[in-house]
Amino acid sequence: MPRMNLEGASAVVTGGASGIGEAAARQLAEAGARVVVADMNEDRGSAVASEIGGIFAKTDVSSEEDGLAAVAAASEMGPLRALVNSAGIGMAGRTIDRNNEPFDLGIYTKVIEVNLIGSFNMLRLAASAMAKTEPVDADGSRGAVVNMASAAAFDGQIGQAAYSSSKGGVVGMTLPIARDLSAVGIRVNTIAPGLIDTPIYGEGEQSEQFKAHLGQSVLFPKRLGSGEELAFMVMECITNPYMNGETIRVDGGIRMPPK
């Protein structure tokens, strides 16, 4: 069975304005897909979309209305074959602080809302559109979803309770959803990145020094990963017809210490 052909198909990439999402959007476009860059950052998202011949959709992934609009925009450009769930936020804080005060429940709720509920929201809406398309091969394949978890789902550090919970939830939903969607020929996989060089670390000399220091804890190669390297695995999960129901760490072999 050949790789899934994305020529003339459409794709939605959440968080597509920067980092891993942007790299995935660019590689999907190179493979022939028309891409909807779904992000909150209008300036950057519009720039990326115009560079790759796609369109931008301002999208709060936890909103049903925004999600439907992004999926509809993709479906107008061609049959929807791929969703990359790359939008996410991280807000660190200990369960109780130095004064023994409890972590802000509102912050915890917000991280879960964007990272976990947002991923499920986009997945269910995209899967509904994919299910209504014609199969592309003899297996009855209609599309593929790639979720973004994190190494923090397995070895979350001090202060990562909210983030690790959200990403652990993404890992936990992967297999049951892959089982659900097998009936309509949609595959679902999750990638768990390690330390990736994205805008989250800021810019400038201090930032570069900090990233170099972080890179020393990676097994090999001793550096942060790039968005492009993660996108290689995104493309593998989308185009390899036998990749299904799996969570794959892409992290240079790192196992995160407590802090």
How many residues are given for the chain?
259
pLDDT value, residue 198: 83
Q: How far apart are CA 117 and CA 47, in angstroms?
A: 27
- The answer to whether the CB of 109 falls within 8 A of the CB of 89 is no
pLDDT value, residue 202: 82
The string of pLDDT tens digits covering residues 45-73 is 999 999 999 999 999 999 999 999 999 99
- CA-CA-CA-CA torsion sign (153, 158, 163, 165): positive
The identity of residue 194, as a single letter, is G
Q: How far separated are the first and last CA of the chain, in Å rounded? A: 45
Q: How far apart are CA 247 and CA 170, in angstroms?
A: 9
Is pLDDT of 254 > 80? yes
Do β-strands 247-250 and 55-58 pair in parallel, antiparallel, or remain unpaired? Answer: unpaired
pLDDT value, residue 11: 99
The string of pLDDT tens digits covering residues 166-203 is 999 999 999 999 999 999 999 999 999 999 998 778 88
What mean pLDDT comes out for the span 148-169? 98
Q: How far apart are CA 207 and CA 205, in angstroms?
A: 5
Q: How far apart are CA 220 and CA 243, in angstroms?
A: 25
What mean pLDDT comes out for the span 214-230? 96
Name all domains of the chain by residue range, CATH numbers in brackets.
Answer: 10-250 (3.40.50.720)
pLDDT band, residue 211 (cuts 50/70/90): very high
* Order of strands, sheet of 247-250, starting from the edge strand that comes earlier in the sequence: 55-58, 34-39, 10-14, 80-85, 143-148, 186-193, 247-250
What mean pLDDT comes out for the span 76-81? 98
What mean pLDDT comes out for the span 217-236? 97
Do β-strands 247-250 and 80-85 pair in parallel, antiparallel, or remain unpaired? Answer: unpaired
- The answer to whether the CB of 69 falls within 8 A of the CB of 63 is no
Nearest by Cα to 229 from 3, 19, 15, 18 = 19
Alpha-carbon distances of 218 from 45, 83, 95, rounded to whole Å: 31, 29, 27
Q: Which structure tokens are listed for 108?
A: 């915890």
Nearest by Cα to 85 from 160, 156, 174, 155 = 174
| Active centre residues (catalytic) | 163
Q: Which structure tokens are listed for 146?
A: 């790639």
What mean pLDDT comes out for the span 212-230? 96
What mean pLDDT comes out for the span 17-30? 98
